[in-house]
């Protein structure tokens, strides 16, 4: 079995029969602070290149950094939410490497003295709980962004020239690193996805980041290794960089497992390397080899004072944490009266917040779940996007559910309304008005259609009048057909009964 990328892939079932995966995730989160990590520059996304810079984030000689207190607080809150130990003493360090998008020639990061260590995050997949140990949560700064112009791929190979935008340079970045996660077997791809989903929920709940994966607020590096079942040693891992959607996290792990297993079957050694993920094919390709570890020559940042957060302040932050996702799920499960499995399903589909907002906008919990997990989930899946990326808001879903409740549209018409909304034709009521999608009342048009159905099928009418009332169904069907589904079936049935069975 070969893939379109030329890699030989083993069938997933065969992979998990014979190999044990170990996964690990490194997640970078851009914090939503108003200003950058070490200067006062704005962090607003999408501004003209290089307009949000100053001597500090451009690393001009003589400029000195000052740490952003809001970013430190946000990092500690993330650590607390993940059950981490918060360091009473922590330092920034210089991570030295040269790349055009880091103006200083080093990144200010944390090395052996991170702010938070030893936490965990529990995720549930198919009724099974997996504990993901968190090794560390540390604070650093983002790099600028290179833009390679003139090539087909946007990569540096084949480009005419490159541009660099330093607006992003110095935006506070939190890195959350898990310990290796063994024991997930065939569920490894789903556990990886569930972990990022749950982490994203926590970050959203804390309000520390917008966590828009498509804007790069949340970026994942996914480590995957395989070892033969029963082996006492773990295999060599690859690190798939910058996986930028929940779905891609799952696909990247699955692909790497299948690719590595085929190599191991052939007796080929797995290279320790970084790999690029390709959204279009769901495949990975080789990046930089990591066989020789890069020496970043870390040393403590001499321009910043060490961080020594006060224990009382940490306790205050702990007590002020909002209701976290597991507690929130338990409460909503009770309020909505659904099973634990369905709640987990909602959460893993990224639908929990959407359903909650839809209920808040006036829909019943049942209707909100039906729309998000039914038609909308199917459409998101077909389009290969996350539910939240669909061009419809929870308020619009609630409005649509309201139109069905009020009898303005039936289920079939409601799906056409959905098409209109998703195609950007406006809100549900606007689409109904613009396309004339409302269910027909007892209008002249409907009366005419009912009369025509009766006149067109004397044999059926005779059957109905001789007592075979179920034959009425054929007449209802005929009316629904002439009205192209816009009539209300119950109304049509009542009108037919009045005409054929009265007296
Ligand atoms: Zn600046």
Residue-by-residue pLDDT tens, the chain, 503 positions: 445 566 889 899 999 999 999 999 999 999 999 999 999 999 998 899 999 999 999 999 999 999 999 999 999 999 999 999 999 999 999 999 888 899 999 999 999 999 999 999 999 888 889 999 999 999 999 999 988 888 777 777 788 888 999 999 999 999 999 999 999 999 999 999 999 999 998 999 999 998 888 778 899 999 999 999 988 888 889 999 989 888 899 999 999 999 999 999 998 889 888 999 988 888 998 887 766 667 889 999 999 999 999 999 999 999 999 999 888 888 999 998 888 888 878 877 778 889 999 999 999 999 999 999 899 999 998 888 888 889 899 999 999 999 888 878 888 888 888 899 998 888 898 888 887 777 777 777 888 888 888 888 888 888 888 888 888 888 888 888 888 777 878 788 888 888 887 75
Between 188-206 and 325-336, two packed helices, what is the crossing angle to 10 degrees? 90
Q: How far is the CA of 208 from the centre of ligand 1 (A)?
A: 20
User: Measuring CA to CA, how many Å separate 103 from each of 60, 61, 122, 161, 307?
Assistant: 9, 11, 39, 18, 24
Measured in Å, residue 189 CA sits from the centre of ligand 1 at 39
Task: Say how far apart CA 397 and CA 233 lie, in whole Å.
Answer: 51
* Paired tokens of 110: 């944390």
Q: pTM above 0.85?
A: no
Angle between helices 352-360 and 325-336 (to 10 degrees): 50
Largest CA distance in the chain: 100
What is the 58 CA–ligand 1 centroid distance (Å)? Answer: 7
Ligand 1 centroid – CA 107 distance (Å): 14
Tokens of 461: 């009418």
Residues in the chain: 503
CA of 307 to the centre of ligand 1 (A): 21
Whether residue 224 contacts residue 261, with contact meaning beta carbons closer than 8 Å, is answered with no
For the chain, counts of helices (H) and of strands (E): 17, 14
**What pLDDT is attached to residue 262?**
93
Ligand 1 center to residue 423 CA distance, Å? 40
Q: Tell me what pLDDT residue 31 has.
A: 95
* 170 C-alpha to ligand 1 centroid (Å): 7
**3-state class of 487 per DSSP?**
strand
Question: What's the 167 CA to ligand 1 centre distance in angstroms?
Answer: 8
Confidence at residue 1, expressed as pLDDT on a 0 to 100 scale = 47
- Report pLDDT for 6: 67
Are 176 and 26 contacting, i.e. CB atoms less than 8 angstroms apart? yes
Distance 36 CA to ligand 1 centre (A): 7
- Asked if 152 and 138 count as a contact pair (C-beta separation under 8 A), the reply is no
Residue 116, SS3 per DSSP: strand
DSSP symbol at 42: B
């Amino acid at each position: 079995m070969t893939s379109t990328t030329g890699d030989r892939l083993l069938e997933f079932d065969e992979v998990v029969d014979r190999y044990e995966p170990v996964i690990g995730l490194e997640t970078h989160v851009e914090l939503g602070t108003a200003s950058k990590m070490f200067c006062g520059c704005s962090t607003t996304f999408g501004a003209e290149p290089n307009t949000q810079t100053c001597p500090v984030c451009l690393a001009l000689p003589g400029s000195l950094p000052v740490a952003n207190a809001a970013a430190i607080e946000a990092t500690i809150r993330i650590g607390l939410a993940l059950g981490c130990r918060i360091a009473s003493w922590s330092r920034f360090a210089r991570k030295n490497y040269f790349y055009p998008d880091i103006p200083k020639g080093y990144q200010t990061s944390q090395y052996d003295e991170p702010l938070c260590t030893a936490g965990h995050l529990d995720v549930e997949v198919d009724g099974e709980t997996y504990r993901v140990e968190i090794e560390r949560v540390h604070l650093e700064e983002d790099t600028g962004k290179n833009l390679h112009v003139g090539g087909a791929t946007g990569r540096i190979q084949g480009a005419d020239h490159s541009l660099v935008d330093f607006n992003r340079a110095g935006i506070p970045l939190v890195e959350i690193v898990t310990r290796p996660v063994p024991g997930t077997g065939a569920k490894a791809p789903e556990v990886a996805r569930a972990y990022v989903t749950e982490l994203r929920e926590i970050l959203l709940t804390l309000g520390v980041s917008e966590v828009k994966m498509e804007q790069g607020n949340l970026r994942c590096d996914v480590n995957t290794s395989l070892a033969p079942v029963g082996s006492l040693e773990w295999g060599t891992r690859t690190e798939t960089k910058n996986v930028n959607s929940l779905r891609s996290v799952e696909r990247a792990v699955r692909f790497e497992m299948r690719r590595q297993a085929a190599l191991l079957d052939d007796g080929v050694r797995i290279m320790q390397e970084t790999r690029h993920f390709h959204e279009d094919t769901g495949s990975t390709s080789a990046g930089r080899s990591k066989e020789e570890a890069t020496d970043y020559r870390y040393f403590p940042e001499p321009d910043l004072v060490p961080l020594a957060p006060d224990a009382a302040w940490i306790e205050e932050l702990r007590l002020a944490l909002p209701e976290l996702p597991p507690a929130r799920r338990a409460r909503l499960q009770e309020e909505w009266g659904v099973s634990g499995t369905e709640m987990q399903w909602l959460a893993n589909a990224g639908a929990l917040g959407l359903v909650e907002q839809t209920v808040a906008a006036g829909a019943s919990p049942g209707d909100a779940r039906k729309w998000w997990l039914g038609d909308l989930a199917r459409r998101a899946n077909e389009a290969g996007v996350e539910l939240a990326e669909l061009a419809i808001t929870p308020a619009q879903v609630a409005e649509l559910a309201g139109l069905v409740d009020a009898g303005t549209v039936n289920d079939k018409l409601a799906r056409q309304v959905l098409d209109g909304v998703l195609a950007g034709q406006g809100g549900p009521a606007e689409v109904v008005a613009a396309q004339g999608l409302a269910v027909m009342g007892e209008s002249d048009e409907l009366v005419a259609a009912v009369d025509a159905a009766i006149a067109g099928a004397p044999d059926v009418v005779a059957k109905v009048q001789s007592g075979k009332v179920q034959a009425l169904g054929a007449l209802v069907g005929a009316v629904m057909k002439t009205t192209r589904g816009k009539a209300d079936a119950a109304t049509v049935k009542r009108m037919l009964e009045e005409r054929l069975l009265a007296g």
